[in-house]
Chains A and B, each alone.
Chain A
Amino acid sequence: MQLFLPIAEVSVNAFLLLGMGGVVGFLSGMFGVGGGFLITPLLFFIGIPPAVAVATGANQVVASSVSGVLAQLKRKAVDFRMGFVLLAGGMAGSVAGIWVFARLSAAGHIDVFVQLSYVLFLGLVGALMLHESLRSLLRARGSAAPVRRAHTHTWVHRLPLKIKFRASGLYVSVLPPLLVGALVGFLAAIMGVGGGFIMVPAMIYLLGMPTRVVIGTSMFQIMFVTAFTTVAHAVTNQTVDILLALVLIMGGVIGAQLGARVGVRLRAEQLRILLALLVLVVCVKVALDLLLTPSEFYSVTAGRLP
């Protein structure tokens, strides 16, 4: 069944979209990630204009984080004060991202910029995850694990403007969380992702937050930042396609429920290796599009009448 998307102005197979949403939802439920980093490149591959794919990807992340946040709230696993600091940074980053996005779209460089961002961040995060999980797998097999101190003092703790984050048991400067939030907000606007893959490691290793509150707090921030980004894209670029988002979300929610059930049966290290490999595969696919000689050197974009 073909479905004509009003904003993307292309006709695509509704079942293909539903299936894509389902598969990404399945993976995100299994690995506990938002899935934005998979949805957006997949939309590029099936011919959705990048601007629409990014803005609609952000909208899809809103849907997938809502149910997650509710579950985390019940568990009291959200550090609200930290969440709001991250959110303030996120909004600022998102505004900057939207502005850069609009400027680059006009100059015709948005596709390359989005693709490069994907290659850079997916490559970095995928490689780090693979390295980390392989090491922990080897460690589990071999000798005793090295002692890791719960709280180490680094340069982060010497910065000014310190405040107390009770739920996390931290007394740190607001600058690092603001910056982390801003980076994530920027990526949300440019790449249509939630940015959990950047924020979660940053919260654990940079800020030293306890793992207990990391997921809930990051989801809390992601939900509001992607919501803000969706509205900002709708207002500045008119590139949010509700129909496209709706079909993706439908598939995604069902897939996520099934994925979560499969996920609990697998071991954490195996899951992380699989996720790392998946991230790297997407990274390589996007990179090849940039590196290989294209079959058509020219592209056409319809302008607007003056």
Chain B
Amino acid sequence: MIRLVALWLLLAAPAAASDGEQIVAGLSQNAVSITASFVGSEILIYGAVRRESPAPTGAPLEVIITVEGPALPQIVRRKDRRFGIWINRAEVTIDRAPSFYAVASTGPLELILSNTEDLRHKITIPRAIRAVGIAAEAEDAPTFVDALLRIQTDAGLYSRAEGAVALTEDTLFRADVALPANLIEGDYRVRIFLTRGGVVVDALERRIGVRKEGLERFFTRMAFEQPLAYGLLALVVAVVAGWGAAAAFRLLRP
């Protein structure tokens, strides 16, 4: 199916397009719903490279795909031993770091992406984090950024999968990116880059909307928009459940 679509796109492409290589891509889904039974999701990103002229020879074609969740300020704290117990002492606020970031590529990023291009497009995870002026907040501020990377990676929120993008005959590519259950709501940005010899030849951006649905949506919106009504509802639920279940038990017991 994907191949057919790609083939059709290749054949039907307008002849007036530029002479370079261009990305044509699709996603298996444009929206992810967080419902009560949400345990994570997997999205398939697929596409093809459109060419007007024969593929250039020389450096091989490589594909890099990133999926990025909404960026938030992140507060990183470090524990120290004080009075015999471990408590948070130093703290660094990182301006903006993506809540989720996955990089998939056809090969090792060091080889297929130059430093300049990485800086320009903010492709690798450390580049996607904006930590300006943190040096003033703690003595060894960079270790806090390392800690953020480590913790988010352990939680499955940051990932780097080299070789996870399959490229067939320098034309068709596909990758699966797993979204974990601990996602936050928002627009997730999917970026696809074509590189040759470390230089980005073409880039394409798509969005996936991650939203809470059903009961989850109802409770979250109510909790933040009508907190008093939500608090009272929590009480009603507690009283009805506590009292009702006790009454039901009494009926069951002869």
Give the interface of A toward B (CB within 8 A).
1-4, 6-7, 9-11, 59-60, 62-67, 70, 108-109, 111-112, 116, 227, 230-235, 238, 240-243, 245-246, 249-250, 253-254, 256-257, 290-294, 296-306
Contacts and interface: CB of A to CB of B under 8 A. Distances in A.
Top 4 closest pairs, chain A to chain B, by CB? A63-B242, A234-B231, A298-B147, A231-B231
B238 interface: yes
Contacts of B204: none
Given A4-B216, A235-B227, A294-B79, A63 B37 contact: no
A254 B250 CA distance: 11
A108 B91 contact: yes
B211 interface: no
Nearest to B70: A305
Contact of B235 (A59, A70, A111, A292): A59
A109 to B, nearest CB: 6
A257 B182 contact: no
Given A2-B39, A63-B241, A249-B238, A293 B73 contact: no
A235 B37 contact: no
B73 A243 contact: no
Contacts of B40: 11
Given A109-B87, A257-B246, A302-B74, 14 more contacts: A4-B35, A4-B38, A108-B75, A108-B77, A234-B231, A235-B227, A242-B233, A243-B36, A254-B249, A291-B85, A302-B72, A303-B73, A304-B73, A305-B73
Nearest to A113: B87
A100 B28 CA distance: 47
Contacts of B91: 108
B85 A112 contact: yes
A301 B77 contact: yes
Give the size category of B's interface with A.
35 or more
A62 B239 contact: yes
Given A234-B230, A238-B223, A9 B74 contact: no
A300 B76 contact: yes
Given A230-B234, A298-B144, A302-B99, A249 B37 contact: no
Contacts of A108: 75, 77, 88, 91
Contacts of A116: 85
A235 B241 contact: no
Contacts of A292: 86
A158 to B, nearest CB: 38
A300 B148 contact: yes
9 contacts: A3-B36, A9-B184, A11-B181, A59-B238, A63-B242, A230-B235, A253-B241, A292-B86, A296-B151
Interface in B108-134: none
Contacts of B227: 234-235, 238
A235 B228 contact: yes
A290 B37 contact: no
Contact of A245 (B84, B85, B144, B238): B238
A81 B71 CA distance: 54
Contacts of A10: 181-182
Contacts of B75: 108, 300-303
B215 interface: yes
B230 A11 contact: no
A3 B219 CA distance: 14
Nearest to B151: A300
A305 B72 contact: yes
Contacts of A2: 37-39, 181
B212 interface: yes
A66 B238 contact: yes
A231 B81 CA distance: 36
Nearest to A56: B234
B34 interface: yes
A59 B233 CA distance: 11
Interface in B221-254: 223-224, 227-228, 230-235, 237-239, 241-243, 245-246, 249
A290 B245 contact: no
